[in-house]
């Protein structure tokens, strides 16, 4: 089972973004690292100057680099930005997060990201015919759906990947919630999303933690944690598990999930070490078990089939 680090979804300063990837290159036991902007094209210029050295450092460390594309393409400039990423990454894999990227990589090997609605076997087969090697399934799918789609993917000659750590991406909008929260227009946002390195927490009118906002993106308040389900995912034949970067020790997160995948540590130890990260939001795994996504289903048996509710 491969360990993947997804693209940074948040608006981190260029130096922080660069140093994070440098540390991943030097210290993290991962196989694949995604780079690129997925949420907002306006963020791209901030790390363009450091991207080449980040890619070079990751490749020199033996990591496979995948270039991720925008998940919501709304205008000509953004279409051009996606085309530019596909052209720049001609010798590397591209992750398709919006179908508009497909014409630029027609026939080339690529991967499908979790922002594409890959919900059935026919969709997987269609992507395989287009050259997809792997699909990262949407995080809202239950365990039995993951099992079914993984089997279908193998039959079509491709693999599946499952997000196992990080705030879950739920929706994208043409409006920028971050700008609106600060009484700013989208076109004059002043990049206020940079203030929230893990997203901006939202509460209900009753003061209960609800969701998180990341620019135009809506995310879960809770952090997905499928540490207890790694055994089930391996048994299903899932090819890779994805960790979504957050402002915490991602080298330690990668070490924990590598240990789980290699059966070098158990679920109890993994959960204790993940708890020691002191993340400012709770863990959740409800979707996998056919429950509301924000729920936490406790005391899982690694070898057992997933509960579908």
**133/240 Cα distance (integer angstroms):** 12
> How close are the terminal C-alpha atoms of the chain, in Å?
27
Tell me the backbone φ, ψ of residue 2, rounded to 5 degrees.
-85, 150
Beta bridge partners of 134: 111, 159
Write down the domain spans for the chain. Answer: 2-168+220-289
Q: How confident is the model at residue 88 (pLDDT cuts 50, 70, 90)?
A: confident
* Over residues 265-272, mean pLDDT: 96
Structure tokens at 49: 């100057």
**Arithmetic mean of pLDDT, 29-45:** 96
Residue 307 has pLDDT above 80, yes or no: no
| Mean pLDDT value across residues 165-177 | 95
CATH superfamily of domain region 2-168+220-289: Phosphoenolpyruvate-binding domains (3.20.20.60)
Q: What pLDDT, in 10s, does the model give residues 203-227?
A: 999 999 999 999 999 999 999 999 9
Distance CA 242, CA 136 (A): 8
Report the C-alpha gap between 171 and 139 in whole angstroms.
Answer: 12
Joined together, the tokens standing for residue 35 give 């780079």
Q: What is the largest CA-CA distance in the chain?
A: 51
pLDDT digits (tens, 9 = 90+) for 56-72: 999 999 999 999 999 99
Measured distance CA(265)–CA(92) in Å, rounded: 33
Q: What is the pTM of this model?
A: 0.93
The torsion angles phi and psi of 195, rounded to 5 degrees, stand at: -75, -20
Residues 108-135 have a mean pLDDT of: 96
Q: What pLDDT, on the 0 to 100 scale, is given for residue 303?
A: 38
Question: What tens digit of pLDDT does each residue of 223-244 get?
Answer: 999 999 999 999 999 999 999 9
């Amino acid at each position: 089972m491969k360990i993947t680090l997804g693209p940074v979804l948040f608006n981190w300063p260029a130096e922080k973004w660069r140093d994070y990837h440098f540390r991943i290159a030097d210290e993290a036991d991962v196989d694949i690292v995604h780079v690129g902007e997925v949420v907002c094209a306006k963020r791209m210029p901030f790390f363009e100057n450091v991207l080449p050295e980040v890619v070079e450092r990751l490749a020199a460390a033996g990591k496979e680099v995948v270039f991720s594309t925008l998940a919501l393409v709304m205008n000509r400039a953004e279409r051009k930005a996606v085309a530019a990423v596909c052209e720049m990454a001609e010798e590397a894999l591209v992750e398709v997060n919006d179908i508009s990227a497909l014409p630029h990589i027609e026939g080339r090997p690529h991967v499908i990201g979790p922002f594409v609605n890959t919900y059935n076997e026919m969709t997987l087969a269609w992507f395989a015919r287009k050259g997809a090697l792997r699909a990262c399934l949407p995080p809202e799918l239950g365990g039995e759906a993951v099992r079914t789609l993984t089997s279908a993917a193998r039959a079509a000659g491709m693999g599946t990947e499952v997000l196992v750590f990080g705030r879950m991406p739920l929706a994208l909008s043409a409006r920028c919630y971050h700008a609106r929260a600060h009484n700013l227009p989208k076109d004059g946002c002043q990049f206020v999303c940079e203030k929230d390195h893990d997203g901006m927490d939202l509460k209900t009118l009753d003061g209960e933690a609800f969701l998180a906002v990341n620019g135009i993106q809506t995310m879960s308040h809770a952090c997905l944690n499928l540490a207890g389900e790694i055994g089930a995912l391996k048994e299903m034949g899932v090819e890779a598990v994805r960790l979504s970067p957050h402002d915490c020790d991602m080298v330690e997160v990668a070490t924990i999930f590598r240990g789980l995948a290699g059966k070098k540590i158990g679920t109890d130890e993994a959960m204790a070490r993940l708890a020691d990260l002191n993340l400012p939001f709770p863990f959740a795994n409800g979707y996998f078990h056919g429950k509301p996504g924000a729920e936490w289903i406790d005391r899982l048996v690694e070898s057992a089939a997933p509960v579908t509710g």
